[in-house]
A = this chain, B = another copy of it.
Amino acid sequence: MDIRDRLAANLRRIRHEKGWSQEEFAHEADIHRTYISDLERAARNPSIEVIEKLAKTLKVNAGQLLD
């Protein structure tokens, strides 16, 4: 499982744990919903600054999104 797939799975899992839709997550993170959707399909290769923003929104460490 490569790093995009791990990110996708972690985002989806943690978002579900919070009971958020993709739209709610996108709103909280101030990132476009289609970008969130792309990330959850492993269709993008985001920068670490995007990872930081996602991690802060989800209240996890950045590393927890990638491992």
Contact = CB atoms under 8 A, between A and B. Distances in A.
Interface of A: 2-4, 6-7, 45-49, 51-52, 61-67
Contact of A66 (B4, B6, B46, B62): B62
A61 B63 contact: yes
Report whether over half of chain A's contact residues are helix, strand or loop; otherwise say mixed.
Answer: helix
Nearest to A65: B63
A62 B51 CA distance: 12
A28 B65 CA distance: 26
6 contacts: A3-B62, A4-B49, A46-B48, A51-B66, A62-B63, A66-B66
A61 B61 CA distance: 14
